[in-house]
Homo-oligomer: A and B are copies of this chain.
Amino acid sequence: MEALRQKVKEDGVVIGEKILKVDGFLNHQIDAQLMYDIGETFYEQFKDQKVTKILTVEASGIAPAIMVAYKFGVPCLFAKKAKPNTLNKGFYQTDIHSFTKDKTNSVIISEEFLDEHDRVLIIDDFLANGDASLGLNRLVHQAGAETVGVGIVVEKSFQQGRTRLEEAGLKVSSLCEVASLSGNKVTLVGEE
């Protein structure tokens, strides 16, 4: 994904040492062709895994996830952020802490749309400390389904996300790995 790496370098805005804002093509304005190419790339990587469902969390995960789902020909399911304890009948529910927003959300998926026959590919826009993907993986387990992998658009490799996901037994594939945001500059893995 050289096009993605270039965009992260050129359009990414560094805030502090840990936050990377990519509002120009992923988190606010979205490059649709890039999302399509991302869908194709994850499809190539996971096509032998008998994936039955793509799972993400609203809102920024939806654009890449829907393209992955389109390439696989399977449904895309997005976990919804809900007020805790208002909608817990018929739902799987877990708490996810957002690193960027420093806020914990309760997220839910309806029991209707995930069961023990599902083989799930989790897709998310960012991997920081891994809380979102680990939370989605908990929802998959609540349903008795299996997570076949986690596809990430931009990984901040200097944070603990990958380690935590791999410790949980998850296969992680990231399309762009950021080594550092030091000095107000995006340095990708391989560029250090």
Contact = CB atoms under 8 A, between A and B. Distances in A.
Interface of A: 23-25, 28-33, 35-36, 54, 58-59, 62-63, 66-67, 69-70, 73-78, 80, 109-110, 112-113
Contacts of A76: 29-30, 32, 63
B30 A78 contact: yes
Given A59-B58, A110-B23, A28 B70 contact: no
Contacts of A28: 77-78, 80, 109-110, 113
Contacts of A23: 110, 112-113
A66 B113 contact: no
Contacts of A36: 70
Contact of A30 (B25, B66, B112): B66
13 contacts: A23-B112, A28-B109, A29-B77, A29-B113, A30-B66, A30-B77, A32-B70, A32-B74, A33-B73, A59-B80, A63-B66, A66-B66, A67-B70
Contacts of A63: 62-63, 66, 76
